[in-house]
Structure 1
């Protein structure tokens, strides 16, 4: 198993720039993988991806210098083991609200003696010579529980103390939602920014890497300057529609009413 590029970037002191795939298309994944991202995450929670489309995305990205990751639909051992067997180098898991749920995530994702993951890396095993994958998987796979509720924030320190996680991933929409605010990505409410500051501080104390979902470059740069170590730039749907709208609007505007 090759060294995880996400961990290499973190070790260099830099932040990871992450892509997000909602569209079940190997071709979309292939295009995104050539755009300069450090990692590419297939979204199996809110995207329209399924397991086979995830594998197709991974196959399409193979050969490009990006780390394949997955946001699983839920903290459940079957799907976590299966995405890892399919070749994921990182797992982002939604709605982790308690230290026990974080411990469960670690158990589901790691081989014995650190966890209870079943052996059978059907596709991931092809990353190295026969039998070598199992020797390094526990150390190389990135685990990021999502901190996106008021309950999770209240349990912050206890969750971050769980051995085996590499950081946390903030879902700004759900986090704001749980505090009675409108769901959006780039948050500016003082009470939420205060939570971000505490998460970054507590992660720093433990050598962990906080990540966050952003709507684009402006929000990502702001997050990096705050201290976040992984930033996601929208998703390919958002990037495509934003640029398409911009081009259509510019065409109509600059054609002096001819379009």
Structure 2
């Protein structure tokens, strides 16, 4: 089976950079993936498109060296199964608030006896290889989003779930939960929460990813030792570069 580069980088203790595809267009997803990211996540939670659009986006990402990841819209076995069958090599699941949530998520991502995933990876076999079934459980990356007070409080129980590879921190929702605005990543309450999540995860040998809304935040998270960071969505980067060029030309 094709290797998951995120697992390789984690074993080598090297940072992975993750692109974020929130516009439902396969060509744009391919362009993002071709920029040099180690992975690109197709976002079904906040992306304004359905699973029908996600499949050609995964196909487009697969033409590059970036690993195709997804953020599912919810903790749903049916949706997660379809996305994995379509060739996703990792799943970020939003709103994991308890050990039970994490167990349900992990079960959806693994074949028996480690889970309850149904067999039928039509495109997964095309991308991963003919021995997909034998290695999928050890190749697909499972990351639980921690973005609420409940998830923050229960993180150690969540991390105790067998076969959960790690967490993905949602700093904007976490800031809102802590009574702040979504862009308050540098506030001490959010900063301490993020450092706590990184510390407890790494103490268990678990993976830590995080979304960063700015280069400044990404640099701080890199210094904190996260394993994967996302330096903005396709929309954010498109707006930023467009605004920068217009600003230069308008003087």
The two structures have a TM-score, normalised by structure 1, of 0.94
Other-structure match for 2:189: 191
Instruction: Please give the per-residue CA displacement for 1:174-220, whole angstroms capped at 9, x wherever unaligned.
Output: 10111111112x60111211111111111111111111100133221
- 1:42–1:49 contact (8 Å) kept in structure 2: no
> Over residues 99-123 of structure 1, what are the superposed CA-to-partner deviations in whole Å (9 max), with x where a residue is unaligned?
0100110111100000000000011
RMSD, aligned α-carbons: 1.1
1:115-154 mapped onto 2 (5 Å cutoff): 115-130=115-130, 132-154=131-153
- For structure 1, list consecutive stretches of 5 or more residues without a partner in the other structure: 254-259
CA distance, structure 1, for counterparts of residue 195 and residue 171 of structure 2: 14
2:229 aligned residue: 231
Quick one: distance in 2 between partners of 1:171 and 1:198? 14
- Match in the other structure for 1:36: 36
TM superposition score normalised by structure 2: 0.97
1:161 and 2:153 aligned: no
- How many Å separate the matches in 2 of 1:248 and 1:201? 42
| Residue 128 of structure 1, CA deviation | 4.7
1:25 aligned partner: 25
CA deviation string 1:67-88 (max 9, x = no partner): 0000000001000111000100
CA distance in 2, matches of 1:228, 1:22: 22
| Structure 2 counterpart of 1:218, from 216, 219, 223 | 216
Give the match for residue 16 of structure 1. 16
CA contact (8 A) 1:72 1:93 kept: yes
Unaligned runs of 5+ in 2: none
Quick check: 2:87–2:128 contact (8 Å CA) kept in 1?
no
**Distance in structure 2 (CA, Å) of the matches to 1:189 and 1:33:** 32
- Secondary structure at the residue paired with 1:123? helix
Partners of 1:177 and 1:183 within 8 A in 2: yes
Name 2:181's counterpart in structure 1: 182
Instruction: Give the CA deviation at 1:141.
Output: 0.3
Q: C-alpha distance in 1, partners of 2:62/2:122?
A: 16
SS of the equivalent of 2:150 reads helix
Mark the structure with the bigger radius of gyration.
1
The aligned residue for residue 77 of structure 2 is 77
Count of aligned positions: 251
